[in-house]
Structures are given as structure tokens and as C-alpha cells.
Amino acid sequence: MTTRPRDLVRAAAGVLADAGVASPEHDAAELLAHVAGTTRSRLPLLDEVTPEVAGRFEALVGRRAAREPLQHLTGTAAFRHVELAVGPGVFVPRPETELLAGWALDRAREVTGRAPVVVDLCTGSGAIARSLVDELPGAQVHAVELDGPAHAWASRNLEGTGVDLRRGDMAEAFGDLDGTVDVVVCNPPYIPLDAWESVAPEARDHDPALALWSGDDGLDALRVLARTAARLLVPGGWLGSEHADVQGESAVEVLSGTGRFVEVRDHADLAGRPRFVTARLAR
């Protein structure tokens, strides 16, 4: 017996909606496309789904309803123009971070007369670093990740790209590059320790703790980042860092308060929410 794809997606979307999944129709379609070996846009071309595929789909829908991340179930995450391998042990890259990566690319493109040097701190899956070399092949891109499992995912995603990937703490990373970097970019942990209940189960229960929590106000990592960037950057070099949507003013204050940076400003995401802060090392 076979089943029509649209009926499967409709039923699964209801299950996911009841479970509190933010995008039930999208996720249901993505899961069916995954088990059917096609893409979401081509699902309408399928007339029917075999019982075997339907059974695999039902199992994945159950896991998604339990708030296991969609990307863990499919094994991939799209980021700008690349597809990344992801799974347990690594922070799943978010669409919002694509704006920060785009900003870093624009600043790197402003370097003339030589290859731009860019450092991606707290690289996680390697999403930003991978986008940099994908869209700006001539750039010298360096990345670092402290967490072991996340570093393994980054190694997989950056293999063969030419990115200089290292394992270590961003506080001490790349001492050999001090004063030579044009752009430092980072998506650091930024969730306050007391914000546990406000974090979506997909992140709270599945993303690495090292990628989420950052002190009482969520800004401890940004303070470390500011010191590291001031060490790495050339005079006039750029720093960009993501932050929580409630940290638009406080993130700016952290960088301005160091006395090392100028042109400190915040940037909104596509929904108009404060999303990342940028600054330039004083000359």
C-alpha cells in the first residue's frame, strides 16, 4: 500500500505543530524529502510513497516532535551557498548568522594589494569559515574551535578548503598572527546562565553547552573576544560578533568600553532585531 506525499506532510505537520515546533509544515516536508531521496521543492512530483519510506518518515517525525533538531535528523544544514554536515556535538548554524558572514566577506573584499586575512573564532561547524573560502577563494582564512566534537565536525566541513583550522581557546589562539589580521569574525556563546527556560529545546538540549552559555549577562565571551581581536587585528582592522537580540546596547558598550575600538555599531537581522555588533581597531 502506498500513501500520497501531501497527506503524509499534512498529518506530520499537525503532529509537529502540537509539539510546539516553530515551522511544522517546512520541517515535515524536509523530513519526507530526506527519506524519499529528493528535495522539498520536488516533492509535488512524487505521486506516492512506499510503506517503507512512510515508516522511516513517521519515525523521524516522532523524533522531531520530541524536539530533536531537524538538521540532526537530515545530517545537513544549509548556510549561505554551502551545505554543512552537522549532528550531535556541534552547534547547528542559524540563518541569522549568514548576515554576519556576509558582513565579514564585504570587509575582506575591501582589502587591496594582497590576500585578505580573516580569522573565525569559535568556528563550531566551520560555517563562517567555509562561506569565506567559498565566496572569496583568495582569502587566507583561519579558524579555531575549543570543543572536541565540534572541532571534528569543523574538520569534516573544512577538509580540502585550505582553511587553517586549529583546536584551542580563542583567548590564546593564533599568537603567530598577532597584528596581521584584517577581519576577526565570531559567533560566540552569548546566553546568560539564568536564561535556561527561555531557550528552545532544540538548542538547550542538543547544542553543546560550550556554544550557548556565557556568564551571568551572556557577554563574558564577547569580553574575551574583544581582547583577542585587539591583539590579532591590524590597525583599522574589523571585528564582527553575533549576540542575543536583547544585547544590542550592551554588546556595543562592551566594545566601546575597551577604549580600543572605534566605529562601534550594532546591526539588525532581517526581522529587525539587534543581531551583531561590529567595530574597527583604532589606528
Q: Is residue 139 part of a domain?
A: yes
Q: Is residue 149 part of a domain?
A: yes
**109 shares its domain with 150:** yes
Number of structural domains found in the chain: 2
CATH number where 177 lies: 3.40.50.150
24 labeled binding residue: no
CATH number where 54 lies: 1.10.8
157 labeled binding residue: no
Question: Cα–Cα distances in Å, from 277 out to 87, 121, 222, 240, 254?
Answer: 28, 15, 10, 6, 10
**41 shares its domain with 138:** no
Grid cell in block for residue 249: 546596547
In tens, the pLDDT along 8-36 reads 999 999 999 999 999 999 999 999 999 99
In tens, the pLDDT along 219-274 reads 999 999 999 999 999 999 999 999 999 999 999 999 999 999 999 999 999 999 99
In tens, the pLDDT along 136-173 reads 999 999 999 999 999 999 999 999 999 999 999 999 99
**185 shares its domain with 248:** yes
263 labeled binding residue: no
Q: Is residue 71 part of a domain?
A: no
What string of DSSP letters covers 125-179? TTHHHHHHHHH-TTSEEEEEE-SHHHHHHHHHHHTTS--EEEES-TTTTTGGGTT
Q: What is the pTM of this model?
A: 0.92
pLDDT band at 195 (very low <50, low <70, confident <90, very high): confident
**99 shares its domain with 232:** yes
159 labeled binding residue: no
